């Protein structure tokens, strides 16, 4: 129960942060990606703020033996940069540039602009399903 409450609180804070920063607005993201047009640096400040928060969080995590609401930390197990990672990053970037949304803002946008966000989320879920089917063949 405690873990669910922390997850709900974290998601709520994340959603409010997305709304407050304007990152649920696809035009804001596209403006950031438009380097040679009407460039909007807002996303760079949001990313910088996120990096600062995570730098502090990583320092705190290093001093903790176990997390507060779980039995153990679930951290990435590899630093390998392979073709799967590069290909996934390229596909993510293309989708982000076309739609102006990535998964977090898309899910948060379901509350404010349901139809466009629902189309994105449905497409995202379909892509995840296709990936699972294709990945199991290799």
Using a 10 angstrom Cβ sphere, with 0-12 exposed, 13-18 middle and 19 or more buried, the burial of residue 109 is buried
Q: Which residues contact 30 (CB under 8 A, 6 or more apart)?
A: 97, 100
pLDDT band at 111 (very low <50, low <70, confident <90, very high): confident
- Predicted local distance difference test score (pLDDT) of residue 90: 92
- Predicted local distance difference test score (pLDDT) of residue 138: 62
Distance CA(60)–CA(56), nearest Å, equals 6
Q: What letter would DSSP give residue 15?
A: H
* 117 close to 101: Cβ distance less than 8 angstroms: yes
Give residue 34's domain range: 2-135
Number of domains observed in the structure of the chain: 1
- pTM equals 0.70
The candidate with the shortest Cα–Cα distance to 104, out of 50, 45, 55, is 50
């Amino acid at each position: 129960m405690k873990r669910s409450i922390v997850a709900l609180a974290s998601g709520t804070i994340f959603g409010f942060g997305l709304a407050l920063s304007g990152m649920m607005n696809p035009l804001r993201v596209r403006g950031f990606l438009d380097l040679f047009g009407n460039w909007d640096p807002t996303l760079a400040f949001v990313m910088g703020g996120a990096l600062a928060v995570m730098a502090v969080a990583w320092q705190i995590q290093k001093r903790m033996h176990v997390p507060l609401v779980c039995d153990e930390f679930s951290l990435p197990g590899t630093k390998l940069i392979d073709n799967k990672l590069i290909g996934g990053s390229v596909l993510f970037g293309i989708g982000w540039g076309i739609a102006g949304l990535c998964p977090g803002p898309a899910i948060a946008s379901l509350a404010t602009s349901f139809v466009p966000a629902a189309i994105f989320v449905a497409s995202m879920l379909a892509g995840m399903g296709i990936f699972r089917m294709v990945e199991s063949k290799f």
